[in-house]
């Protein structure tokens, strides 16, 4: 859980001219011309023992210094989406954001577990990766650089990217390993997506699996707002994903009544029909090509970049990237942006799919200049800072050991009709303080997951394997 990165990075907008200097095994942060302060890795670990009390970590409907987040339950039972914004993730201008969309009977518990544990594993992996880097230098980006200095800085930038790439890979692997061995959380036919970003100065690092998506609102040369998709929906219809699954003896095809949705099936059973190629959990398919290895990418932010939206597929299924950016950029206040986006998605579900059950929606709106509205503006949007209440994933007393929940009744008589092998790109892909919400958004803890019952547009799972309830312990 190292909170240090040996790098220097330019920062955006409000923090231009800032430099960071970090030494291995500790967080050594310095502004140009300011006194150096150190915070050791062990100090940071102690602060993480009680996650609910960690400052600047928001995981329920509300806002932070630079973001707003909102989730609303759909019509499939308990809300299976989770989200988080963790400012001061590492000292000085480092923020972690994530959205996690669970699926299966215990998907809500998987999503919460990933929300809580993945950031810690990322910190731990970062510290481990950094500790192995010998002779890492400390640099300071300035307004103009000599040629030799520029070469050193480029090398430092490359080292930074390499560090974060390895940290993302290791943390996602460790997360899936923990889920597999968890004594009270059955992830055999349950899992979660993840889209996670780390902003460090002007550097943006992204790791993701599944079909939750990140989109950035940025201004073009004409000062018009444009949408830039930052991640790829990792679904089975991507040729490389389908190829890997088939090599591992998994099957990939769509059903006749939903030919646009490719799914992953066991080689010997018409189940579970997973609608994504990568996920945490879903161990019934891990031997057949579904993986938890994330895609990793890096982007250098500029002053034209305004905000980033992370959302579950309940939003992207009904709103385009451009519509999402337009809604957020036109919100009457930044604090209301996430809620407005979820409300817009809910309306679109009713208009476009009136006979289907609306999916859960979770949104993080992260504003890159680090500015938000005043508290008074925020309260006008219907939130009250005087009534702090945990949402579906926000109970301070939440325990992973309480993950024993009765499995809902599931349909077993689904007839599978292969439609076509899915080799093409689908829609929605780029080419190569905690506050309470509305009463109707809060899902009771006694609710079951009803994703396999009734009429839905796109379920992440079709049905559970016939042997799932009698499987041997791993």
* 71 belongs to a structural domain: yes
Which of the pair, 130 or 308, is modelled with greater confidence?
308
CB neighbours of residue 144 within 10 Å: 6
* 165 belongs to a structural domain: yes
Domain containing residue 332: CATH number = 3.60.40.10
In this prediction, residue 177 has a pLDDT band, given cuts at 50, 70 and 90, of very high
In this prediction, residue 465 has a pLDDT band, given cuts at 50, 70 and 90, of confident
* 400 belongs to a structural domain: no
Spatial contact of 58 and 68, defined as CB atoms under 8 Å apart: no
Mean pLDDT, residues 221-238 = 96
The half-sphere exposure of 329 on its side-chain side, counting CA atoms within 13 A, is: 20
Mean pLDDT, residues 38-54 = 55
- pLDDT tens-digit series, residues 165-175: 999 999 999 99
Residue with token string 């899992």? 191
* 273 belongs to a structural domain: no
Mean pLDDT, residues 264-269 = 94
Does the pLDDT at position 29 exceed 60?
Answer: no
In this prediction, residue 225 has a pLDDT band, given cuts at 50, 70 and 90, of very high
In this prediction, residue 458 has a pLDDT band, given cuts at 50, 70 and 90, of low
- pLDDT tens-digit series, residues 365-397: 999 998 887 543 444 445 433 333 333 333 333
* 470 belongs to a structural domain: no
Q: pLDDT averaged over the chain?
A: 76
How buried is 239 (Cβ within 10 angstroms: 0-12 exposed, 13-18 middle, 19+ buried)?
exposed
Residue with token string 């059973």? 269
CA distances from 324 to 92, 93, 156, 225, 453 (A): 30, 26, 35, 11, 29
* 9 belongs to a structural domain: no
Does the pLDDT at position 77 exceed 50?
Answer: yes
Contacts 24+ apart (CB under 8 A), 72-75: 72/342, 72/346, 72/360, 72/361, 72/437, 72/438, 72/440, 72/441, 73/360, 73/392, 73/440, 73/441, 73/442, 73/443, 74/314, 74/357, 74/358, 74/359, 74/360, 74/361, 75/357, 75/358
* pLDDT, position 372: 85
Mean pLDDT, residues 290-318 = 97
The half-sphere exposure of 170 on its side-chain side, counting CA atoms within 13 A, is: 18
Spatial contact of 230 and 214, defined as CB atoms under 8 Å apart: yes
* pLDDT, position 278: 98
* 437 belongs to a structural domain: no
Contacts 24+ apart (CB under 8 A), 131-137: 131/2, 131/24, 131/25, 133/6, 133/24, 133/159, 133/163, 136/6, 136/23, 136/24, 137/6
Global pTM? 0.73
CB neighbours of residue 130 within 10 Å: 24
* 360 belongs to a structural domain: yes
CB neighbours of residue 125 within 10 Å: 24
Structural domain for 57, as ranges: 49-133+156-233+293-367
- pLDDT tens-digit series, residues 116-157: 999 999 999 988 877 776 445 444 333 344 555 555 556 888
Number of domains in the chain: 1
- pLDDT tens-digit series, residues 328-348: 999 999 999 999 999 999 999
Give dist(CA 369, CA 88) in Å, integer.
Answer: 15
User: How many residues would you count in the chain?
Assistant: 474
């Amino acid at each position: 859980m190292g909170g240090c990165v040996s790098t220097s990075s330019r920062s955006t907008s409000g923090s231009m001219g800032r430099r960071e200097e970090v030494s291995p095994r500790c967080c050594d942060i310095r502004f140009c011309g300011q006194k150096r302060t150190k915070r050791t890795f062990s100090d940071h670990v102690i602060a993480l023992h009680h996650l609910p009390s960690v400052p600047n970590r928001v995981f329920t409907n509300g806002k932070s210094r630079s973001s707003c987040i909102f989730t609303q339950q759909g019509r499939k039972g308990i809300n299976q989406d989770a989200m988080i914004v963790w400012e001061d993730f590492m000292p000085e201008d480092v923020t972690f954001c994530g959205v996690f969309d669970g699926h299966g009977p215990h998907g809500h518990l998987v999503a919460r577990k990933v929300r809580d544990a993945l950031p810690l594993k990322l910190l731990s992996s970062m510290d481990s990766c950094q500790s192995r880097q010998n002779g890492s230098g400390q640099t300071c980006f300035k307004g103009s650089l000599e040629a030799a200095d520029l070469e050193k800085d480029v090398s430092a930038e490359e080292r930074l990217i390499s560090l974060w790439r390895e940290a993302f890979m290791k943390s996602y692997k460790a997360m899936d390993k923990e889920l597999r061995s968890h004594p009270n959380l059955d992830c055999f036919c349950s899992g979660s997506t993840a889209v996670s970003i780390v902003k460090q100065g002007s550097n943006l690092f992204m790791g993701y699996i599944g079909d939750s998506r990140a989109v950035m609102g940025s201004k073009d040369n004409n000062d018009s707002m444009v949408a830039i998709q930052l991640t790829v929906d990792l679904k089975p219809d991507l040729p490389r994903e389908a190829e890997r699954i088939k090599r591992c003896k998994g099957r990939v095809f769509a059903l006749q009544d939903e030919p646009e949705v490719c799914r992953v099936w066991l080689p010997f059973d018409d189940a579970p029909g997973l609608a994504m190629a990568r996920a945490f959990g879903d161990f019934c398919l891990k031997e057949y090509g579904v993986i938890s290895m994330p895609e990793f990418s890096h982007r250098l932010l500029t002053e034209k970049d305004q905000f980033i939206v992370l959302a579950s597929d309940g939003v992207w299924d009904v709103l385009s990237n451009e519509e999402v950016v337009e809604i957020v950029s036109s919100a009457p206040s930044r604090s209301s942006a996430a809620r407005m986006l979820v409300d817009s998605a809910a309306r679109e579900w009713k208009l476009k799919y009136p006979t289907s059950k609306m999916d859960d929606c979770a949104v993080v709106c992260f504003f890159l200049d680090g500015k938000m509205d005043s508290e008074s503006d925020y309260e006008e949007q219907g939130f009250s800072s005087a009534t702090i209440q945990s949402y579906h994933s926000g109970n301070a007393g939440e325990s992973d050991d309480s993950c024993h929940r009765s499995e809902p009744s599931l349909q077993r008589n689904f007839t599978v009709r292969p439609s076509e092998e899915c080799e093409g790109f689908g829609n929605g892909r780029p080419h190569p303080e905690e506050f309470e919400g509305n009463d109707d958004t809060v899902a009771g803890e006694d609710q079951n997951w009803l994703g396999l019952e009734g009429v839905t547009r796109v379920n992440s799972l079709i049905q559970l394997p016939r042997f799932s309830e009698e499987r041997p312990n791993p």
